[in-house]
């Protein structure tokens, strides 16, 4: 597991990864096989990407409400599923799919804090 690489307003050039994002706009370009749990006020955009899977943002923590307000986001006006594909080939297989309720369970895609610490510890041990 590694976090999505973020390029200011856009997420670009990420391969075979998983992540969760909050933001005003989500744009993925040249991406393959990514699972994204997303809260987005506008249509998420993909371009030259394939194997993308989208589900709703599901994290909850103390500062979340204030951060959503600051970003102009609302749980009642979330367009995570309104994907616009700039490079959809008519008649071809879709470059993305929406996760069903069972697939969109965030616990399947994120490490617990304990798992993250254990992974970091193993990584540090292997470098010494």
The CATH number for 18's domain is 2.160.20.70
Within a domain: residue 6? Answer: no
35-40: strand order across its sheet: 18-23, 35-40, 52-56, 96-98
Domains in the chain: how many in total?
A: 1
Give residue-wise pLDDT tens across range 41-75. Answer: 888 999 999 999 998 888 888 888 888 888 777 77
* Predicted local confidence at residue 95, as pLDDT: 94
- pTM value is 0.68
* Predicted local confidence at residue 16, as pLDDT: 37
Mean model confidence pLDDT for the chain: 76
- Domain boundaries, position 72: 11-127
pLDDT band at 96 (very low <50, low <70, confident <90, very high): very high
End-to-end CA distance of the chain: 21
């Amino acid at each position: 597991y590694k976090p999505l690489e973020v390029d200011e307003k856009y997420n670009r050039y990420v391969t075979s990864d998983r992540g969760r994002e909050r933001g005003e706009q989500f744009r993925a370009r040249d991406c393959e096989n990514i699972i994204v749990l997303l809260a987005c006020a506008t249509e998420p955009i993909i371009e030259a990407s394939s194997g993308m899977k989208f589900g709703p943002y599901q994290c909850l923590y103390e500062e979340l409400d204030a951060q959503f307000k600051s970003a102009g986001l609302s749980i009642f006006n979330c367009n995570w599923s309104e994907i616009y594909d700039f490079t959809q080939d008519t008649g071809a297989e879709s470059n993305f799919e929406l996760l069903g309720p069972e697939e969109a369970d965030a616990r399947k895609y994120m490490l617990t804090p304990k798992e993250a610490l254990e992974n970091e510890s193993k990584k540090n041990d292997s470098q010494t």
